[in-house]
Every structure is written in C-alpha cells, then in structure tokens.
Amino acid sequence: MSTLETWPRGSLLAGLTEPTVRALLRLGPEQTMPTGGILMREGSAESDVVVIRRGVAKVSTGKSLISIRAAGDLVGEMAALDGSPRCATITMAGPGRVVMIPAERFTAFLGRHPDAALAVATMVATRLRWSNRRQTDFTVYPIRVRVARILTELTEQHGHPLGHGALELGVRLTQPELATLCGAAEGSVHKALRELRDAHLVSTRYGRITVWDPQRLRAAARA
C-alpha cells in the first residue's frame, strides 16, 4: 500500500495513523467485489469484519435502505464484538475491493492497538447518534427538509465535484431507497424532489442525483 494513500474524511481509516492502517489491512485477504456482491447477509451467523478499500456499499434491513458505506469504512464490527447475528445486509453498489478480516484477528488487533479500539468505539457511537437523529427528523421535520438533509449529508460524504460547486452523488439511489432513508412515503419524496428541482437546487436522472447549489441545499436542510 502506498504511504501516500488517503481516505475520505469521516471514514474510520482516515482517523488512524498510517502504521495502524497498514497493520489492519494485513489482517485478511483483499478481494475484488462485483456490483451487487453481498458482503454480509442479515441474520447470518458469520462474524468476519470487512474493510471497504474501493467502492460504495448499501446497508439495508429487509427491503429498506438504512445507510451507505464507502472507501475507508469498516462494516460487520458488531457481530465480531458481541457474537450476534448480522443485523443488516450489505451489498456493493458498484465494483470495488474489500479486505475480509476474521473476527478473532480483529478483536486481537484492537487489543494490541488502543488507538484503533478508540476509533472503532467512536465510529459506533457516531453511527448510533446518526440513527437517533434520523428518528428525531422523522417526527419533527417536514418531508422537504428531511430530503434536503439526507441529500446534503450524502453528497458531502460521497459526492463527486462537477465544477462550479456542483456535486453528483457517487452512488445510484432510487426514489424508493431515498424514501426509506427519509422515513417517508415515496410519493411525498417525489413531491419534495420536484420542489427542490423547481428551486434549481438538484436534478435527478436514472438514479443519479446532482446537487447544483450545495450551500442553498444546506440552508434548506436547516429550515
């Protein structure tokens, strides 16, 4: 691995030192994953931990999308830490590369690297806080604000610059998937997207979402 390799801001690997990252990535084999490849299945008793090195994955329970993970992120840590069945299915949204780490190697690694153990605990707390905030949003804010919030967060984390400040979401997202992320009916999300398009904040086409004015969309998310 190149010492010049960088990881997206907010990912687990971005918060670790280079030696710790190298030690973590040596714990298991790296493999290529195709679009639609399953990293783990909800209810499975398997306990491997997966580090996403390249690509984007969708996290779902049942048929509902609940979050997105990308390069530098770690998934599957809960089953490794407490031995419980998988609580979600994680599917590659495009081709990528991952490192599969056996649970016993991962837990031993955390014992040898307190900095990594703290980073993983912080990551779990951040995800729990994000989930709690979503639940609050579902009961407090109107649909248009929820959609603006989700699109702002996703494009800030996974957006590709298009020039003049515009960002394209780096993963295909259907309106039903966006609806589950927002905790709203698909028809309500469709109406909210139309309002955001009419305000020239976003555009949508074949699962692709482009944010043309991130600053104004962020303001709409705070409404």
- Was domain 142-221 assigned CATH 1.10.10.10? yes
Q: How many alpha carbons lie under 13 Å from residue 26 in its C-beta half-sphere? A: 8
Residue 2: its pLDDT value, please?
A: 43
Q: Which CATH number fits domain 13-137: 2.60.120.10, 3.30.70.20, 3.40.50.300, 3.40.250.10?
A: 2.60.120.10
185 vs 170: CA distance, rounded Å: 24
Least confident of 1-5, 131-135, 137-141: 1-5
The encoded tokens of residue 67 equal 């979050």
Residue 4: its pLDDT value, please?
A: 52
The string of pLDDT tens digits covering residues 26-38 is: 999 999 999 999 9
Look-up of token digits 């949204």: 93
Residue 1: its pLDDT value, please?
A: 42
DSSP alpha helix (H) spans, the chain: 18-25, 77-82, 103-112, 114-140, 143-158, 175-182, 186-198, 214-221
User: Any idea where the domains of the chain sit in the sequence?
Assistant: 13-137, 142-221
The string of pLDDT tens digits covering residues 162-202 is: 989 999 998 889 989 999 999 899 999 999 999 999 999 99
Residue 34: its pLDDT value, please?
A: 97
SS3 content of the chain, % helix, strand, coil (to 5): 45, 25, 30
Least confident of 1-15, 115-129, 138-152: 1-15
Q: In this structure, are residues 50 and 76 in contact, taking their beta carbons and an 8 Å threshold?
A: yes
* CA nearest neighbour of 151 among 168, 132, 129, 138: 168
Residue 106's SS3 state is: helix
The encoded tokens of residue 33 equal 């994953």
pTM score above 0.95: no
